[in-house]
Amino acid sequence: MDNELLENHKRYLERKALYSSLGYDVDKERAFILEKVQPLYGDILEAGTGKGHFALELARAGYSFTTFDISETEQAFAKLNLKYFGSDAQVDFRIENGESLSFKDKSFDIIFSVNVLHHLTNPYKVVDELLRVLSFEGKLVLSDFTQEGLVLMDKIHASEGNKHEVSKTTLSDVEQYLIKNSFKITRAQSKFQEVLIAYYQII
């Protein structure tokens, strides 16, 4: 195994340990999201690869899927991480801007976006794009931190000398937007994660 792979995995473990020291179990929280959105079917898209925590959970569960991120640096970390676990072949990694995706209309049946919303400058523009590429039989799964989760993230970023920027648009705001656009919503929540699942209303 090459040094780049090992060094990347070491950084991944250090990050997980930092989360864990503050009471946040990355694997448990990702498994919670996956459990709440069953069943999964068809073509799956992850919006916002980040460091690959959720991508790894999906791959470990045996799914093949497409994942995109705007940051080549973040996605390179994720790609190496999945490669370490032998799961990278299941994943089509793409560099995309969530406000203007290259995918065709209605091309995905399940779309995940985990802990991305609070980072977005134009969240509704991204949501509209995700809805454009969601099939009529599909599910849009948006998950973000609870207030307790955001406090924890503030601590993590502060410990690394950074400030955790958070958008004013909340998951509840997006929920109302989706309801106005005739979507049916179901919700789930753990201590640190809120999960919103949106379906097209069948009239």
For 116, half-sphere exposure in the C-beta direction (CA atoms, 13 angstrom radius) is 31
Task: For the chain, 203 residues long, give each residue's pLDDT as a single digit of tens.
Answer: 688 999 999 998 998 898 899 889 989 999 999 999 999 999 999 999 999 999 999 999 999 999 999 999 999 999 999 999 999 999 999 999 999 999 999 999 999 999 999 999 999 999 999 999 999 999 999 999 999 988 888 888 888 788 888 888 999 999 999 999 999 999 999 999 999 999 997 65
Over residues 61-72, the pLDDT tens digits come to 999 999 999 999
Q: Which domains does the chain have, with CATH numbers?
A: 3-200 (3.40.50.150)
Q: Are 101 and 74 in contact (CB under 8 A)?
A: no
**pTM score, two decimals?**
0.94
Over residues 124-137, the pLDDT tens digits come to 999 999 999 999 99
Give CA–CA dist 184/198, Å, rounded.
6
Q: Are 81 and 52 in contact (CB under 8 A)?
A: yes
Mean pLDDT of the chain: 93
Give CA–CA dist 178/143, Å, rounded.
14
